[in-house]
A = this chain, B = another copy of it.
Amino acid sequence: MKSSKLLITLFASVSLGTSAKADQLKLDSFTSSAQLVAALPESAWRQLSPENTIVMTLPEGEVVIELASKFAPNHVENIRTLVSEKYFDGTSVIRSQDNYVAQWGDTTDVDTNNPNAKPKPLGSAVEKLEVEFFEPLTSIPFTMIESKDAYADLVGFSQGLPAASDGKKAWLSHCYGMVGVSRGTESDSGNGSGLYAITGHAPRHLDLNVTLVGKVWLGMEHLSSLPRGKGPLGFYLEPSKYVPISSVSFLPKGKIIKVMRTDTQEFKRFVELRTTRNEEWFIEPTGSIELCNIWVPIKVV
């Protein structure tokens, strides 16, 4: 695999946010990503903030979602309002399409058996929002990684979230676990009251076509292992199949969840180690990596 010099240069110039050169020497001594993660200093982690993180409670457990306030400030604000006013409590997961998405929100979106059903009132949240598909690259923290990508000229991470760029715009990418705003054919027909998470192979063709608003950091299995819906697009055909959401609330202040920072020398080394896979099990390490195959480490303290 030939390496792209452009990307190497960009990585070097963009990602040197932290760590002195002395650290880098030590980083070279690690030969597996697991060793490295176990030894990371506290400065290589950041804590999920209660005001920017929501917890959705499903029958099988909790789903912890960090909101992407840099990329979709208006949608995130709307979702915060909905969460504050307990809009999501009593809503449901209404769709589970294999190798694609799980989608949740108000059941009247899909309850065609009951045409008189009234949508759940949005309270103080707004019904119409302009799309937030991308931001100028210059306004977004962005750590490039070296990878030949089918969908974008440049790929990397923005504060832990997988992202892509054409050198001018930057946008979030539809990797596994990313959360987006459900919409109909009209681009602005979503407002955050209906959301979905990617539960299969990254459908990157959705990038730049939907407003992404966050990422599931914990509890993805409670969405990804749901029974698949038998209707078109994986919608559940009967209300009895809907998966109840008992509540969506902000992360409790006492709950300490830390994710690895993606703007550090430690993260750069982490990606290198995940690329080379110089581990006993591997016979022919690839020497390359794809954006959505990089899993940012997380720990619950």
Contact = CB atoms under 8 A, between A and B. Distances in A.
Contacts of A185: 280-281
A contact residues, range? 35 or more
Interface stretch (A68-76, A136-144, A264-272, A282-290): A282-290
A151 to B, nearest CB: 6
Interface in A194-245: 200-205, 207-209, 220-221, 224-228
B293 A201 contact: yes
Contacts of A205: 277, 282, 285-286, 289, 293
Contacts of A282: 205, 209
Q: Interface centre among A153, A226, A282, by most B CB within 10 Å?
A: A282
A259 interface: no
Contacts of A285: 205
A258 interface: no
A6 interface: no
A20 interface: no
Contact of A227 (B176, B225, B283, B288): B225
B149 A150 contact: yes
Given A147-B150, A224-B225, 16 more contacts: A98-B224, A99-B176, A99-B224, A149-B150, A150-B289, A151-B290, A185-B280, A185-B281, A200-B224, A201-B292, A201-B293, A202-B293, A205-B277, A205-B285, A205-B293, A207-B286
Interface of A: 1, 96, 98-99, 133, 147-151, 153, 175-177, 185, 187, 200-205, 207-209, 220-221, 224-228, 277, 280-286, 288-293
20 contacts: A1-B151, A98-B220, A98-B225, A133-B284, A148-B148, A151-B286, A151-B288, A176-B200, A185-B281, A201-B201, A201-B293, A203-B293, A204-B286, A205-B286, A207-B286, A208-B284, A208-B286, A209-B281, A209-B284, A225-B227
